[in-house]
Each structure stands twice: as C-alpha cells, then as structure tokens.
Amino acid sequence: MENIRQMIQDGRTALGIEFGSTRIKAVLVGEDNKPIAAGNHEWENRFENGIWTYSQEDIWTGLQDSYGEMAKDVQEKYGVTLTTVGAIGFSAMMHGYLPFDGAGELLVPFRTWRNTITEEAAAKLTEAFGFNIPQRWSIAHLYQAILNREEHVKRIAFLTTLEGYVHWKLTGRKVIGIGEAAGMMPIDPGTRHYSRHMIEAFEELTAGEDFSWKLIDILPEILVAGEEAGRLTQEGAKLLDVSGNLQAGIPLCPPEGDAGTGMVATNSVEVRTSNVSAGTSVFAQVVLEGGLKKVHPEIDIVSTPDGNPVAMVHCNNCTSDLNAWINLFEEFTQAFGMKVDKNDLYGTLYRKALEGDPDCGGLLAYNYFSGEHITGFEEGRPLFVRNPENRFNLANFMRVHLLTSLGALKTGLDILLKEEGIRIDRMIGHGGLFKTKEVGQKLMAAAVNTPVTVMETAGEGGAWGIAVLASYMIRRQENESLSSFLNRAVFAGQEGVEVAPQERDVEGFNTFVKRYTAGLAIERAAVENLI
C-alpha cells in the first residue's frame, strides 16, 4: 500500500480513459501496469434527426465524471490527492464523423459508428479505391455528406474521431493513432501514412466540387505507438479535472480506437496472432503478414497500434439468442419452485453442449436478433429448426446454439483461413462466451482449427489497454517493440489457459457450417414472412 501511495505521489503511473458505447471508464495503472484505481460514467447515445449521436456536453461531463471518480478512488484507497500521472492515453469506440470549422466549432452533431447512413458512399469508395470501405469509417461519412450536398462540407477545416477530438482539446495537437487512422482513411502499411493513391482517387471523385480544402489537409497526423503525442496544457488540465488539482505538462500517447486497445489488452499485436471478443456481438482480428489477395466486403482492414495490418471480421449477433434460451430454462426451474444460481445454470447448460454430437446431431439454428452483413441480412429472426430424424436432445440443442453464435464469424474467418490462406498461431478469447471454463474455447478452437487462450487480464478492457499504451510510451526500453514490451512488462508469467482444437470438433463444426450456409434460405424466408 505504501509503495503504491508513493508511486502515485511521484507520478510513476499511467492513466487510460476509454469512451465506450455505454460507459466511459478511467483506469490508473502502476509501474507494473496493473490497475490500482478506476472510475466509471454511464452514458447512452441518442437518436436525433435520424442520427445516432452523443452531445458535446455529454462528452465533457462524462469525461470529467469518470476522471473524478477515479481520482476519488485514489483518495479513498491510498489517502492521496491525485495531482499528476506519468502519462495519459485516450481511446474511444471506433471511427465515426466529427468535422470542425476553422474556429474549432463542430459543424454537425457527432455521427457515431452505429449509423448506417453511408451505404452509397461506402460502395462507391470501395469501387474507386479497390479496397473495402465499411459504412462506419470516417471517409464514408465525409463522402456521403458530399453526395448529400450538405452545406457544412465546404467549411470543414479538420476531421477527426471522438478520441482524436478529446486529445486535441487537451493538448492542442491534431493527431491520431495509426490503428484508428486506418478506420478514418485507408493507410499504407509501408509508409504508415494515409494511402497516397486512395487520397488521389478521392480527389478525382470530388474534382468538380468547389472546396477550399484538400483531404490530406483536414485529416489528423498519424502517430504510432511509443511516440509522444503532445502534453497536457493548462486549459486541458482544467478541462479534464474540474477540481483543479491536476497539473499540466503530462505527456500523452497517440489516441487509439477500441479495436487497437483490445489488441493490446489481449496481447495480440504480433504477426499471426488473433483476438476474438464474444458477447452481445462478436469480432475477431488477425494480424497479417501482408495484404490480402482480393477485396472482401466481409473483411475490414485496420491496423495494430504500431502499424501492422489487421484483418477484422465483425458480426452483429452472438450471445443474445443463447441468453434468451437460458432465461427460458430459468423460468422452467422457477415453475418447479427451484432456486438455481444463474451462473450455475449457464455453466451446467454450456458444459452439457460438450456431450453433444460434433455436428449437433443435424440440428440448425440462427441467432439473428438483427441483420448480419457477413451473410447478407438487413434484418434477422432468431430461428431453430430440425428434421424429425435428427438427434434432438439437450446436449445437441445447447451445442447448436453455441455453434451458431459463432456461425457468421466462422463464415468470415473461413474467407481468411481458406480463401486467403492466412495463418493464425495463437488466438486470445475474451467476453461472456468464454466465461464458462473451456466450453467457448473448445468450440472457438474448432471454428478456427487453432489453439485458443483465455487470460485473466483479457477482462480488463480497452481503458486498461490504452493505459498500457501510455505506459509503453514512457517505459519502453530503447528500440523495444510493442509486442516485446507487452511480453516483458505486462503479460510475463501470465500464460492463461490454452485449449487446442480436437479433430472431431473441427470436422463437426465444418459439417455444421455447410448446413448453416445451405439453410440461410430458411432464415431469409423467416425475415420475409415472420412479421
């Protein structure tokens, strides 16, 4: 306790703050990169004038509250008033659209990743660039605003993302981490800068427009992990800490998106490593050795915080339908007057799935609470179907709902593994699907035919990930890579629990996916007829 107290007083700490979709979290770590204090602020997006957004007031009051709660935690635990830290980093939900004029005024309300209003622009840019442009990317929002003839476009002086905006206001620097930059405008991994030929392609698309700006002039400067991204100004210190206790001059690391901080939090930044986050939605990221052979609309190309290309498969649906069935079983137990702990219920039913047939005995299910772009659905209908002769028992029933929670993800990953020949040496799993020991791991390992590891620190989240990136900036050894720093200073001795794929499970999952793909017509009929 005394060591931590002295560490805080000396400023030998690092602070990470992440703006998630429903929570702004601040995490303070010590010299060993372990959390020593935290603060949270709950917030919700608003649907205003057809746009999912958060107001500027929400951003700043939420930031101040999360920081204040963290500082209060420091005071209560260690009896110390927080006046300085060794380094600070900011992260946020990926991409979106925040355009500012020359006076630094926001021109339109923040357009978040959740908006699906850029379909036309994303398609045209994908064709022009020869590179997949998802709807949530900043360049798609900008081009859609141009196509819509929105008045504000001609007055843009600076375009950034949420964490880039906060960082700018606290330091005066218009910069962004390379991982988040890759979701604003595609980057060239060789130069670690925005793709020159795609910048030129954009200028050709907009050549007839009378803009006073060029795209390259309104985008933030790209920095990579380890570089200093500015220092906290006097005004920034007052904006962050309303108590006035925090001192100016603290160095900041490059602001990063939640995809990059997730890679750090799971030690998945080395080539041929991967991480998968499985909860309400599910996504997997694979660090690539090079580029892909062709453009795949199912695959987003982003970057690690130190500049390596990453292929991302993002799916909207994962555990929601599983949770609904667990709730039904809970109702059943309650109807008989039984009191069963919810965690025990999940664990028992999940483990039952391991007793099922590798291919689920012929059963089929879809977990589509919403649409799923990987398989081409704008809407979804949760669905369970079977033939009379299928092996219908509890083990197969649970197994099919666990496998289908990874069905769309496997569809996307199979493009990487089978069509592109991408190799994965190690996958780190985190999220609710992996909470029951080994079950989610075994099935995920079967999906990718690769060992899957779960570590305790994987649950610390992106706020911890950006705190570690801030720590890397001030504590790395000379010329030490990010992956070396993580292995030495963060994850040393934390091997986690690894589960290797079993041949029968791999074959069973492949058989199930063939049935899953062939049965998409059933899901399509449900969407069209079940109103």
Residue 260: predicted pLDDT: 92
Residue 377: predicted pLDDT: 87
DSSP for 467-496, written as a single string: HHHHHHHHHPPTT--HHHHIIIIISTT---
How far is the C-alpha of 441 from the C-alpha of 427, rounded, in Å?
10
Backbone angles phi, psi at 106, to 5 degrees: -70, 130
Residue 123: predicted pLDDT: 94
Which residue, among 345, 435, 462, 337, has the nearest Cα to 398 in the 3D structure? 345
Which residue, among 276, 314, 305, has the nearest Cα to 451 in the 3D structure? 276
Residue 283: predicted pLDDT: 87
Centroid of chain to Cα 258 = 4
Name the DSSP class of 152.
Answer: G
Q: Specify the amino acid at residue 299.
A: I
Over 60: is that where the pLDDT of 459 sits? no
Residue 493: predicted pLDDT: 82
Q: What is the pTM of this model?
A: 0.87
CB 65 within 8 A of CB 41: yes
Residues 257-294 pLDDT 10s:
988 998 999 899 999 999 998 888 888 999 999 889 99
CB 497 within 8 A of CB 438: yes
Determine how β-strand 309-315 pairs with β-strand 282-287.
antiparallel
Residue 460: predicted pLDDT: 66
How far is the C-alpha of 279 from the C-alpha of 282, rounded, in Å?
6
Residues 98-113 pLDDT 10s:
999 999 999 999 999 8
Residue 367: predicted pLDDT: 96
Q: For each of the domains in the chain, give its residue range(s) and CATH number, in order of start.
A: 268-454+501-531 (3.30.420.40)
pLDDT band, very low/low/confident/very high, at 195 (cuts 50, 70, 90): very high
Residue 368: predicted pLDDT: 94
Determine how β-strand 383-385 pairs with β-strand 364-366.
antiparallel
